[in-house]
Structure 1
Amino acid sequence: MVLNLLVDPVSTYTKHSLMLQLKLDARMKLIVTDGVFSMDGNVAPLPEICALAEKYNAMVFIDECHATGFFGKTGRGTEEYFGLQPGKVDIINSTLGNALGVAAGGYTTGPKELISLLRQRARPYLFSNSLPPPVVACASKVFDLLLVSSGYAEKVQANTDRFRSQMTDAGFIIAGENHPICPVMLGDARLASVFADQMLERGIFVIGFSFPVVRKGKARIRVQISASHSFEDIDGTVEAFKQVGKSRQVFVRALSVSKEPTILLKKERLPFSRLHRVIRDLKLGTW
């Protein structure tokens, strides 16, 4: 039995519903989750998940594609972020791309018996070519750099703290926890697209995401912080966000899922369902 938490760590699988499913009679139980959920920057409650797995004799599998190399004190991922002992999670799957910067490939860690089984039975492994030697060499070098020093992970975190605090002070809503994936919540899909275009005109490349990638009314610009960014880069990006927000005469607030997102236009808070009336009145000169 596989319990998949990849869709929504908050509302779809509460602790209570997960416990009910773990109580079901099954020879093997496997809880599968992201370590970090990439669109919102939310971190899975790994200590609680591991505690439930121990109680009900289940295994834990986490996908660390948005944690490997930079998340946690030395970049070792979600286990380290929560201070869990190495090996607390049974299976970890991750990528050599993303933060590690290698062109292709990934890896799976786990018990020796499992790895042997995957080598014999996993179709993506059996029916694919080996990674090119330069890719393997680059990946090996990246891990060497991370093992020697925690400086890269520390720089990412410092940049993240700076960006999130300055953007919050400026009035923007940044979703997720204190993670380098920083979703700037805008709510309206068109606004997110135009906002991203105007950021690019100022030399800042960010991408607007909207439905169906994220929920309706939850459009955002997804900013990803890197160790290669300087504090000057961070400050310049925040300033660009302020300029675009001012030029659009829009100040964005993202509300909870249960409430309708709102937009603040000329100091009056309006739900999106009424925005067309505002535009009509502006055209008629009655604003």
Structure 2
Amino acid sequence: MGTLGSRGAGVTDYYGIEARRVDMIVSTMSNAWASAGGFCAGSMHVVDHQRLSGAAYCFSASLPAMLAVGAHEAINVIEKEPEMVTRLHENVRYFHQLVKEYLMGKFEIEGDGDSPVVHLRVNGEEDRIKRIVDECAENGYLVTVAKYSEQERIKRRKSIRIAISGGHSFEQIKGFVECLSKIEPSKIELPKIEIAKIE
């Protein structure tokens, strides 16, 4: 929600499916809407079942009013200014084009070509990811190491999480990709760990 589809209305918008034809729509409000929490929407009988059977409902609190209003306003802004979504899509296409041109072979790239979120992994060099993130920060680009819960079913390798915004300029995007292209992951020296002998 907020990024995919011509209106930014999510997966149903992206694939041209009427929302009412889907049993349940689930989304986070913490990314595109800069709020917190999430929601489930669907037909009355599906939502009733979810409400009564979902542990998240039984063991959670309501979203603070301030965050609910913030998410609501973000939706209003996206509806009133559809060019924001158009600009985001242009930036995402441009970023993916540059990634193919500059970074293929240097990083493993994971993420759909239409998604504003991309994960970069270093071929066989997970320990170097934090150093790459630090080097990006030194050059004025803020990216982060993706964090995953130990309880997730699918264990993911460490990655650099990149989120493209509609507020980025083409110059900023190109500068960031050029910064990454100058980094040689295999040449990043890691601190040596010495193990003391116990006598």
TM-score (norm 1): 0.55
Aligned to 1:100, the other structure's residue is in SS state: coil
Considering Cα pairs closer than 8 Å and 6+ residues apart, tell me whether 1 or 2 has the greater RCO: 2
Other-structure match for 1:279: none
Establish whether residue 232 from structure 1 lines up as the match of residue 171 from structure 2. Answer: yes
Match among 100, 106, 122 for residue 186 of structure 1: 122
Q: Is the 8 A contact 1:91 1:109 kept in 2?
A: yes
1:89-129 per-position Cα deviation (integer Å, ceiling 9, x unaligned): 21111111112111x22111111122234444434324433
Q: Note if 1:158 corresponds to 2:90.
A: yes
User: Which has more radius of gyration?
Assistant: 1
Query: Hey, what's the Cα distance between the residues in 2 that align with 1:181 and 1:79?
Result: 18
**Aligned-partner Cα distance in 1 for 2:25–2:33:** 16
> Distance in 1 between the 2:117 and 2:62 partners?
31
Q: Tell me: CA distance 1:115–1:209, structure 2 relative to 1, closer, same or farther (3 Å).
A: closer
Is residue 147 of structure 2 the alignment partner of residue 147 of structure 1?
no
Shift of 1:169: 0.9
Which residue of the partner structure matches residue 183 of structure 2?
A: 244
Please report how far the alpha carbon of residue 210 of structure 1 lies from its aligned counterpart in structure 2 after TM superposition: 9.1
Q: 1:90 to 1:146 in 2, by over 3 A?
A: same
Which of 7, 11, 20 aligns to 1:87? It is: 20
Question: Quick one: distance in 2 between partners of 1:130 and 1:136?
Answer: 10
Contact 1:97/1:106, CA 8 A, preserved across alignment? yes
Residues 204, 237 of structure 1: 8 Å contact kept = yes
Q: SS state of the match for residue 99, structure 1?
A: coil
Distance 1:181 1:98 in 2: 10
Over 3 Å counting, the alpha-carbon distance change for 1:110 and 1:207 in structure 2 is same
Q: Which residue of 2 aligns with 1:205?
A: 142
Matched residues in 2 for 1:129 and 1:182: separation? 31
1:221: how far off? Answer: 2.2
Q: Closer, same or farther in 2 for the Cα pair 1:128/1:202, shift >3 Å?
A: same
* Overall identity of the aligned pairs, in %: 27
- Matched to 2:183, the amino acid is V
Higher strand fraction: Structure 1 or Structure 2?
1
* Aligned residues between the structures: 177
Shift of 1:182: 1.8
Q: 5+ residue gaps in structure 1?
A: 1-67, 251-287
2:26 maps to a residue whose letter is: N
Equivalent-residue separation in structure 2 for 1:183 and 1:131 (angstroms)? 29
Q: Is this contact kept in 1: 2:103–2:181, CA < 8 A?
A: no
1:249/1:97 CA distance change after superposition, 3 Å: closer
- Compute the displacement of 1:204 (Å): 1.2
> TM-score, with normalisation over the residues of structure 2?
0.76
Q: Which amino acid aligns with 1:90?
A: D
Q: Which amino acid aligns with 2:117?
A: I
CA offsets 1:194-215 (integer angstroms, 9 cap, x no match): 2222111112122345998524
> Partner letter of residue 175 of structure 2?
G
Q: Which runs of 5+ in 2 are unaligned?
A: 188-199
SS in structure 1 opposite 2:119?
Answer: strand
Q: Distance in 2 between matches of 1:194 and 1:97?
A: 27
**What's the Cα RMSD here?**
2.5
